[in-house]
Structure 1
Amino acid sequence: MTGLPDKAVLLAACRGFPIITDHPMLDAAGELAGLHETRENTPWSALEETDAHRIRLMREIDQWVQLATPVPFPAAKLHTHTMGQVVDQIAQLTVQNYIALTAAPDELFDDARTQLDDLGNAYDDLAEDLARGTRRLPQLTTQW
């Protein structure tokens, strides 16, 4: 697979479904979801290594996207987050959806599902804008 994956494939990667082709962004997305699952069961005082790994993965996504998308037009609008940050947030919401599905009232699950769907749609819009060169991303400064 070349180019940015669509929402459905990205969400499948975050859910741990097997991906037929290797894709650095999808591999990182699946790993990010695993790290968010780990975060759910880890005390705050022990999150430093997990979060450092997340930052490395987000930077890898940012670098890959920078190489895989065309140079944006000079007047392209700046997005508020890097693609690595967007994928990390999708991975986090995917894990929260799973938790809500297994342990929360239906209303909470519906809210979590809606949030994830909205973010997935925003991701698709961003990917399309990047492919057209009408949106640019912040510099590679993913940090906390």
Structure 2
Amino acid sequence: MNPDRTLPAKDLLLAAFRGFPHDDHPMLEAAGELAQLHLVRERTPAAESVKIDRRRIQLMRTIDRWVTLGTPVPEIAAPEHTETVGRMVDRLACMTAQAFAALAFAPEAVFYDAWVQIEEMADGYQDLIDDLRTGIRRLPDDPYDQW
């Protein structure tokens, strides 16, 4: 594994979604842009969101390439995860963008519930990258062909 290709921990990822500074890490840059795209997409008519979705796919693929280059080849018998890291980061970016934009004026209990879901998914991200780092999990092939 290339030490220059470290995978960011969940806390750094969540901070990137909120636009907090990071050390120019390509995955964190892509994550921050995904969160911004989800904010824009919320205000964009469905018929006009094709360009946004294409960009999201590019960013997810960028993340997936980074993960592939930054993790060891998984064991032959390693179980396959249900989604790629790029797709997981995209879903987490969407949840985070919705929580901080749409729920900003919601009752505290509603915001708290959304944040609990984000934390649970972020824990899943952390578990996945930990498994990938040790080679005990593998990722599915390119799922974006169906988009």
Q: Which of the five TM-score ranges fits, normalised by the shorter chain?
A: over 0.9
Q: How does 1:118-129 map to 2 (within 5 A)?
A: 118-129=120-131
Q: Percent identity?
A: 52
In structure 1, the residue corresponding to 2:132 is in which secondary structure?
A: helix
> Which runs of no fewer than 5 residues in structure 2 stay unpaired?
none
CA contact (8 A) 1:100 1:109 kept: no
CA contact (8 A) 1:100 1:112 kept: no
Residue 27 of structure 1 corresponds to 29
| Aligned-pair CA distance for 1:106 | 1.9
- Write the distance in 2 (CA, Å) between the matches of 1:66 and 1:101: 35
Answer yes or no: is 1:73 the counterpart of 2:79.
Answer: no
Q: TM-score, normalised by structure 1?
A: 0.94
Residue 17 of structure 1 corresponds to 20
In structure 2, the residue corresponding to 1:75 is in which secondary structure?
A: coil
| Aligned-pair CA distance for 1:135 | 0.4
Counterpart pick for 2:97 among 92, 95, 98? 95
| Aligned-pair CA distance for 1:100 | 4.7
Superposed structure 1 runs of 4+ greater than 6 Å apart: none
Answer yes or no: is 1:140 the counterpart of 2:138.
Answer: no
**Alignment RMSD:** 1.2
Q: From the superposition, tell whether residues 23 and 4 of structure 1 become closer, same or farther in structure 2 (CA, over 3 Å).
A: same
Deviation sequence 1:65-109 (CA, Å, 0-9, x none): 111100000111100001110000111111111025422122221
| Aligned-pair CA distance for 1:140 | 2.2
> Which runs of no fewer than 5 residues in structure 1 stay unpaired?
none
In structure 2, the residue corresponding to 1:103 is in which secondary structure?
A: coil
Kindly provide the amino acid, as one letter, of the partner of residue 16 in structure 2: A
